Homo-oligomer: A and B are copies of this chain.
Amino acid sequence: MSDKSVQKKKYILETARGVFAEKGYKSVTMKDIVDACDISRGGLYLYFSSTREIFLEVLKMEQEEADDVFEKSIAKEAGPADILALFLKEQKRELVSKKPGLNKASYEFFMDEQNYGKDNFLKKQFDSAVVVIQKLIEAGVENGEFYCEDARRAASNIMYVLEGLKIASLTRGITEAAVDREIMYVMRGLVAEE
């Protein structure tokens, strides 16, 4: 594949990402993407042959970018409590934002796919977040910032609450205050039990 092709493919994926972010997964048609990209019907088929294929590649792209972000976050030297706080703040920002990102589309997609394997994007995201949080908590316990008996459990609890907030946000809206309250509640378990 030529250099130009690669560029165009990337352009399509980025444009398509916007379409999925706006319309979710199931409502998006090849025509929607063709229109958004301002290319011809046949042109799109040169690169992708279904919305499913496009969405999968959008997710792959997303994954790679997410990995980059992770590394940057960790690169900045800061205490584990600070990093966790930063992570939660970022999550909150996304929850409250009007631009829903790919959450809606991803949920629609994976509810349809019934793909419960290791290549499930949501599973991967979730599991790796749990691991990172667990490590942060353990580090926090070590330096006395946190108190926690089972870091693994605490980490997954945090993630499930976030997941609950996410779907709540998408299906019925959620106020910033409510998000704050829930986050504060789960954090209290870590810091308050002195």
A160 to chain B: closest CB distance in Å? 3
Taking a contact as CB atoms under 8 Å apart, the answer to whether A172 and B126 are in contact is yes
List the one stretch of A1-9, A32-40, A108-116, A133-141 in contact with chain B. Answer: A108-116
A176 to chain B: closest CB distance in Å? 14
Residue A173 at the chain B interface, CB threshold 8 Å: yes
Q: Restricting to A146-173, which residues have a CB under 8 Å from any CB of B?
A: 150, 153-154, 156-157, 159-168, 170-173
Against B, the Cβ 8 Å flags (1 = close, 0 = not) of A171-193 are 11100000001100110010001
With a CB–CB cut-off of 8 A, which chain B residues contact A116? 172-173
Cross-interface CB contact of A162 among B104, B123, B164, cutoff 8 Å = B164
Taking a contact as CB atoms under 8 Å apart, the answer to whether B185 and A157 are in contact is yes
The answer for the CA separation of A68 and B193 in the assembled complex, in Å, is: 40
Taking a contact as CB atoms under 8 Å apart, the answer to whether A111 and B122 are in contact is no
Residue A99 at the chain B interface, CB threshold 8 Å: no
Interface of A is mostly: helix
The answer for the CA separation of A150 and B185 in the assembled complex, in Å, is: 10
A22 to chain B: closest CB distance in Å? 12
The answer for the CA separation of A115 and B171 in the assembled complex, in Å, is: 8
Chain A residues in contact with chain B, CB under 8 A?
24, 26-27, 104, 106-108, 110-112, 114-116, 120, 122-123, 126, 150, 153-154, 156-157, 159-168, 170-173, 181-182, 185-186, 189, 193
Q: Name 11 A/B residue pairs within 8 A (Cβ), A-sorted.
A: A26-B26, A107-B171, A116-B172, A116-B173, A122-B172, A157-B186, A159-B164, A160-B164, A161-B161, A163-B163, A163-B168
